[in-house]
Amino acid sequence: MKGDRLDNMKKLNLFIYVVATLCCFGTINNVHAEGTTLPDKDSQGIIKLEDDINLENTFVINEDENITIDLAGHTINYNKGGTYAINNLGTGKIIDSSTGKTGKILCSQNSGSCVRNYKNLEIDGVFIQSEWLTVKNEEASELNIKNSKIVANLGTKPSVAIQNWGSTTIDNSEVVGNGEGTIAISEWSSITDGVVYNSDITIKNTTLNAPFAVDSRSYNDSDSTQKIVFENVEVIDGDIKIEKGVNFIADNASNTLNAIKNATAGATIVVSNDFVASNLTIPSGVNIELGENNNDIEKVIGEDGTISFIRKKSNKADPTPTDEVAENENPDTSDINLYLILVIIITSGFGICYTIKQRKFN
């Protein structure tokens, strides 16, 4: 009896051990299936997603690290307010190697940046969306966004797609703000502890679509500056709002006019060489400059203080006396040259005919 009881106890212990082991493995498998953390990096510093991730905590790229996050067509979901999904303190890249470019980063809380950069970050071919601040670039940091779509949806407060305090380049991308008061590009500069942090952003081959395409200013009305350069930028909707310390340069008349109308004292707008306007009222304290090597535009200030920009003769404007003199000094000789060529051809023809006749009669 005693031996049987011992055998039964052993069997019971073995059963409990097996059940506990299965539960443990089941728990581990469930955690893996849910995907609450990013996979480990490989020997090249690449983290490649194999499943969608419901990220539980902020993923940090440390100061001494060089990490590439490859979404590989998968989605990172983050649902914690007051923090960010990805915090880059080092050198980071976020890419999507999938053919369909279906990789996404989605942040559903309306506080905290979705992706924040404190050093050097590149985003290429990725869709990122949040309910508040989607991508933030801090002071003295570099951000490069290309072939991507960055979206801010309206939460309980005005949302921002991209906020720049450092140096940012955006190329071949879409920047969208959905909802009243949302901002596509928020450009800031500051003076912190006596250190001046000026900012600059260059946007190329990109569309901006938000109630505020650009909202730029200096923090606490400091003497820091911001530089904004547009190259082939389409503003589908929204104002270009610039304030003190901003230097705005655009390569088309529409964006230039938008900026002039919405500028406040202390802003500077550089006029591109395709800009033409008549009797334009410039907001008080706004400085208007002509671009470098901009010889095709003249600025005329009227007695009432309005400004007109007109094209010179080289751009098909009404001729001025100076232009007419220049034309007289350099006459067009193309017609004369054509007449000379015709005379030579005709003369040569007569000469050939005469030679033929002479040979015939001889």
- Name the residue with higher pLDDT: 99 or 354: 99
pLDDT for the residue 283 = 92
The rounded percent of the chain whose pLDDT value lies above 90 is: 61
pLDDT for the residue 335 = 55
Secondary structure letter of residue 275 according to DSSP: -
In the predicted structure, residue 284 carries a pLDDT above the cut 50:
yes
In the predicted structure, residue 16 carries a pLDDT above the cut 50:
no
Q: 350 — phi, psi (to 5°)?
A: -60, -40
In the predicted structure, residue 28 carries a pLDDT above the cut 60:
no
pLDDT for the residue 275 = 84
How many angstroms separate the CA atoms of 186 and 214, rounded?
A: 6
Residue 292, CA distances (Å) to 172, 210, 313 in order? 25, 30, 19
Can you tell me the mean pLDDT for 63-76? Answer: 98
pLDDT for the residue 330 = 47
CA nearest to 88, candidates 68, 103, 70, 107? 68
CA nearest to 67, candidates 48, 53, 86, 46? 46
Residue 155, CA distances (Å) to 34, 116, 211 in order? 27, 19, 15
Query: What mean pLDDT value characterizes the chain?
Result: 82
CB atoms within 10 A of CB 67: 20
Indicate the pLDDT class of residue 345, thresholds 50, 70 and 90.
low
Rounded to the nearest 5 degrees, what angle is found at the Cα of 142, between the Cα atoms of 83 and 264?
85
How many angstroms separate the CA atoms of 189 and 355, rounded?
A: 86
The rounded percent of the chain whose pLDDT value lies above 70 is: 76
CA nearest to 135, candidates 203, 88, 199? 88
Residue 213, CA distances (Å) to 20, 86, 210, 321 in order? 58, 25, 5, 42
pLDDT for the residue 296 = 81
pLDDT in tens, 155-178: 767 799 999 999 999 999 999 999
Can you tell me the mean pLDDT for 5-28? Answer: 43
pLDDT for the residue 18 = 39
pLDDT for the residue 262 = 96
pLDDT in tens, 180-213: 999 999 999 999 999 999 999 999 999 999 999 9
pLDDT in tens, 296-338: 888 888 888 888 888 764 544 443 333 332 333 344 555 555 5
pLDDT for the residue 127 = 98
Task: Write down all domains in the chain, each with its CATH number in brackets.
Answer: 25-306 (2.160.20)
pLDDT in tens, 110-130: 777 899 999 999 999 999 999
Can you tell me the mean pLDDT for 33-59? Answer: 91
pLDDT for the residue 340 = 61
Q: 66 — phi, psi (to 5°)?
A: -125, 100
Q: 278 — phi, psi (to 5°)?
A: -120, 140
Residue 51, CA distances (Å) to 33, 39, 76, 201 in order? 8, 10, 9, 34
pLDDT for the residue 15 = 46
Residue 132, CA distances (Å) to 159, 197, 241, 324 in order? 4, 24, 20, 59
pLDDT for the residue 303 = 85
Does this model's pTM top 0.95? My answer is no
In the predicted structure, residue 82 carries a pLDDT above the cut 50:
yes
Can you tell me the mean pLDDT for 10-27? Answer: 42
Indicate the pLDDT class of residue 222, thresholds 50, 70 and 90.
confident
How many angstroms separate the CA atoms of 228 and 147, rounded?
A: 20
Mean pLDDT highest for which of 69-78, 301-310, 334-343? Answer: 69-78
pLDDT in tens, 52-67: 999 999 999 999 999 9
Q: 223 — phi, psi (to 5°)?
A: -90, 15
CB atoms within 10 A of CB 331: 9
